[in-house]
């Protein structure tokens, strides 16, 4: 059975951003604290450091990296005009990624992580 969810967007200003990351590209940064502190907020870094397996750390890092790139695209500036720490993605009680700035979706498959960010007013 399919569940449908609809949102009335008649008067909403929606901004969409998406990003795809080739995960092996970030593999060399898993233990680079300087890089991690530029990309992950303190809360995200705490979650990252609690992960035990390298594969899960890589998925987490690449997912958050993709989210931040997607966020920059959604506001129309690209990452050059946005600090990676401006956008934080945490988890709700079920493990779903959430942000106080909009809706977030992250997925991983083999060597890729993808993120979609939707901002709304």
Tokens of residue 36, six digits = 């991690």
- State the DSSP H helix or E strand holding residue 117, giving kind and residue range, or none if neither: strand 112-120
37, 68, 73, 91: the catalytic one is 73
The answer to whether residue 73 is catalytic is yes
The answer to whether residue 108 is catalytic is yes
CA–CA dist 15, 107 (Å, integer)? 20
11, 68, 94, 108: the catalytic one is 108
CA–CA dist 88, 102 (Å, integer)? 10
CA–CA dist 87, 117 (Å, integer)? 11
| Residues designated catalytic | 73, 108
């Amino acid at each position: 059975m399919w569940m449908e969810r609809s949102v009335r967007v008649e008067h909403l200003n929606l901004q969409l951003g998406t990003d795809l990351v080739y995960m092996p590209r970030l593999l060399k940064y898993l233990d680079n604290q300087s890089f991690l502190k530029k990309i992950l907020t303190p809360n995200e870094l705490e979650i990252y450091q609690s992960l035990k397996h390298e594969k899960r750390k890589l998925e987490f890092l690449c997912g958050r990296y993709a989210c931040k790139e997607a966020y920059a695209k959604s506001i129309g500036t690209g990452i050059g005009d946005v600090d990676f720490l401006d956008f934080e993605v945490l988890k709700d009680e079920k493990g779903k990624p959430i942000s106080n700035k909009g809706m977030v979706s992250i997925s991983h498959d083999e060597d890729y992580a993808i993120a979609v960010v939707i901002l709304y007013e």
